Amino acid sequence: MLHAYEWAVLRVVPRVERCEFVNVGVLVYCQALDYLAAAVTDDLSRALALDPALDVETTRRHLEGVRALCAGEPSAGDNGRRPVGDRFRWLVAPRSTVLQPSPVHTGLSDDPAAILAELFDAMVTPLPPPAR
């Protein structure tokens, strides 16, 4: 049975004033299945190309925090115990920081975990170089 899901891309915006960003993760939320998960990359080389002064370790900690919050891990603190819908809404709220969400998109699926993997591949995994 197909269920509605919502998703957003996580972006690193190394210098907020320049509005340049790199996709570094994906969030998927399915209310009907009580599903919320994030897939994030550890490779911030493309973000470093935009700003070599990016604090990589802090950015990685924030990305890990997002993943832990989605999973409801103890390291997420009190927020990790909130309902998954509340956690998703908090994560996709607009903000002007180094880690920003895209607008929220929707779809239908019977397997949100598979959708998470597909979206990560399509939206975050770097494209191969063009054939010559």
Residue 132 has pLDDT above 90, yes or no: no
- pLDDT band for position 128 (cuts 50, 70, 90): confident
Under DSSP, the state recorded for 15 is S
- Over residues 26-53, the pLDDT tens digits come to 999 999 999 999 999 999 999 999 999 9
Give this prediction's pTM: 0.93
Give the pairing of strands 105-109 and 22-30.
unpaired
| Residue 119: exposure state from Cβ atoms within 10 A (0-12, 13-18, ≥19) | buried
Q: 56-80, pLDDT tens digit by residue?
A: 999 999 999 999 999 999 999 999 9
Cβ-count burial of 100 within 10 angstroms (0-12 exposed, 13-18 middle, 19+ buried)? middle
